[in-house]
Structure 1
């Protein structure tokens, strides 16, 4: 983030520009880099032209909107139009909002734009996000350089070329072209895994894979390093929690790539369970139930001993003793220590519920709590257990496993 001196420089430059004719150089303070005026009206027209190119899935029309002589920018824009065709993008809109500052000496500047898009057949409503857009003026002509910048949300399909894999139930888009078929298989196999438990789900699973962990941070407008150690996350692609916002699985290719096939499948099935239950928009479900249920779904038919699937929490109990209470929200923070053990402990809570009351009772509990029923009431009605009884049974299970 710029310091106060940089902020004052921008203010001075903008005020000075308002007093002179368009597209003239502004005398900067001594020692500061030169800045130029931006042409917001022309940039807005370029975005309008790009919308038309995307709607037509016309890569050459999009390429023509790049700055003169910038082949790389032309390739990026052509890829956006090609992506749009393969992804069946609908309701695309891009409206220029404002420049983030004056243009640099070479005529380049970054602006904010309101962008909307929807993947037909999968998204019920458009995503709506403010996206940074880079422009450059060359000889008085404004061209579009790229969507996305170091700060701000950078949607994967707008950032560059992607490989697309589609079935009636899954849509995978990946900047990691070499892994496209693998991601597609993981998504396809996750669908029946989830439907065996969440029987009412009408699968519409979208999986997005940026080129890197850094790309995942930018796609989700997160601080650098936020998702460095996370294999995948399910979230709304525009950051909204409103019902109907497109919810996709976002993959960190570096972390998922380190996993063996069985582990990668568990991760994908876990995230697909979140999609099936609209987990990212749930505000009433405690995280132990939200995450534990997704692990229950993903691990239900995996033939591994519990000493493997619960290895981290078993080790933690042996070292520190049995926890007194179910894991709380702070323990699921991405920066928390022993995050793997926390997830395993939440899974074991759901295992205890399914064993004591049956899988149907666990599903009913999840659905009722997600719909707003208080946990204690839903737990008693659906499983016959009180909260203290559940905690006691869970603690007993942990103690037995650690013995």
Structure 2
């Protein structure tokens, strides 16, 4: 997540990985009919499911006419640019209301060439009934407390890069190509430092505004006012993320210089690459610091330039005594404290790379995440890969701050 503050502060990036809520399987409470077979409510639910199956099939084969027969034809225009490999609905509940109804459903979709597995999102469909008794879709919207999808905000424009897919609303293809160029440079940069054991592709979402960014993330826009980008994803059962999205705040991103924009996209791409090895055991100073470390590689930025808030604290005799905790990275943290947290993590990773080597830094990151659920994952990784202890590591880091920032 890129945090904007004072003009001299280099933007910082922090990822959020919101959990994906599973759709609830609800049983209809309609009474049973007098003869054997399905309840009337179950029959209606099955009819609606068949309409949605036809709707999905029409979308996948780009058959606008067939799609229109299932209702809400305008949505086809919003969706047609998406390169879909799959698109399915599963009706979980049907609520009758006069001649119409609403359906709770789980939508699962996968972008061709980018998603390892389908993304699941909860939707509510408003249904009408034609004169001949057939159901049709009148509206399709996010479920309560579920985030919007990009197409909920308008027609989607898609731009393909060499290593990226940029999807936007409200921007022309030329503007989206600029994002694709940055992402295409980020992917090989990340692979050069981290390795190639990841998809080496990134999907970037560019909504129209800060408000729309908040809608995609299911949060208040105020939470992201100074944020240039975040990365979201789902945790796969195998530990490999089936889908990741870099979500850009176009308003904050627009005020960045060329270097800042590239650092942000490279940082977020690092989160995509490292996802499979980032777990609850991975402290934020390591995940954010490592992403910043890759983001700044080759930029020529000195520690004082890239870590101005921490440099000021060191010079004033207020250097932090310990590495930042996860709470120090909170959205509502004091801006100076938040900047120092990111800068501290970056300098810790820079120190590891400088003293133990780039390869050992990557091995350390993997060792921490791969031992989630075991006691002392961080301590064990420090011992196995860096041959040090938490206390000795903190002392070395503290000395490193004074040496690099004074």
For 1:108 and 1:229, the matched residues in 2 are separated by 43
Distance, in Å, in 2 between the alignment partners of 1:159 and 1:96 is 23
Contact 2:213–2:221 (CA<8 Å) still a contact in 1?
Answer: no
Q: Does 1:187 align with 2:183?
A: yes
Aligned to 1:360: 359
> Contact 1:230–1:255 (CA<8 Å) still a contact in 2?
yes
SS at match of 1:93: strand
Q: 1:282-340: per-residue Cα shift (whole Å, max 9, x none)? A: 22211111111111111011122322211122234456711121111111122222322
For residue 188 of structure 1, report the CA deviation from its aligned partner: 0.5
Higher relative contact order (CA 8 A, sep 6+): 2
Give the match for residue 388 of structure 2. Answer: 385
8 Å CA contact 1:241–1:281 kept in 2: the answer is: no
The TM-score with structure 2 as length reference comes to 0.77
The aligned counterpart of 1:28 is none
Secondary structure of the residue aligned to 2:292 is helix
Report what 1:8 is aligned to: none
5+ long unaligned stretches in structure 2: 1-28, 32-43
User: In the TM superposition, what whole-angstrom CA distance separates every residue of 1:208-256 from its partner, at most 9, and x where no partner exists?
Assistant: 2222333233323335533333211122169999534312222222222
Q: How big is the alpha-carbon RMSD for the aligned residues of Structure 1 and Structure 2?
A: 3.2
1:54 to 40, 54, 59: 59
User: Are 2:107 and 1:115 aligned?
Assistant: yes
Q: CA 1:242/1:371 → structure 2, altered by over 3 Å: closer, same or farther?
A: closer
Task: Flag structure 1 segments of 5+ consecutive residues without an equivalent.
Answer: 1-14, 19-38, 67-72
Cα distance change on mapping 1:154 and 1:239 into 2, 3 Å: farther
Q: 2:240·2:276 contact (CA, 8 Å) conserved in 1?
A: no
Matched-pair contact (CA < 8 Å) for 2:277–2:366: no
Structure 1 residues 249 and 388, CA, compared in 2 at 3 Å: closer, same or farther? same
Aligned length, in residue pairs = 356
Deviation at 1:265, TM superposition (A): 0.7
- State the SS of the aligned residue for 1:222: coil
Q: Paired residue for 1:94, among 89, 101, 108?
A: 89
Rounded to whole Å, the distance in 1 between the matches of 2:81 and 2:247 is 17
Distance 1:111 1:220 in 2: 23
Measured in 1, the distance between the counterparts of 2:354 and 2:282 equals 21
8 Å Cα contact 1:152/1:218 also seen in 2: no
2:203 to 199, 206, 216: 206
Alpha-carbon contact 1:220-1:238 (below 8 Å) kept: no
Aligned to 2:306: 309
Question: What CA distance in whole angstroms lies between the structure 2 residues aligned with 1:45 and 1:252?
Answer: 38
- Decide whether aligned partners of structure 1 residues 247 and 375 sit closer, same or farther in structure 2, where only a CA change above 3 A counts: same
Q: Distance in 2 between matches of 1:210 and 1:229?
A: 15
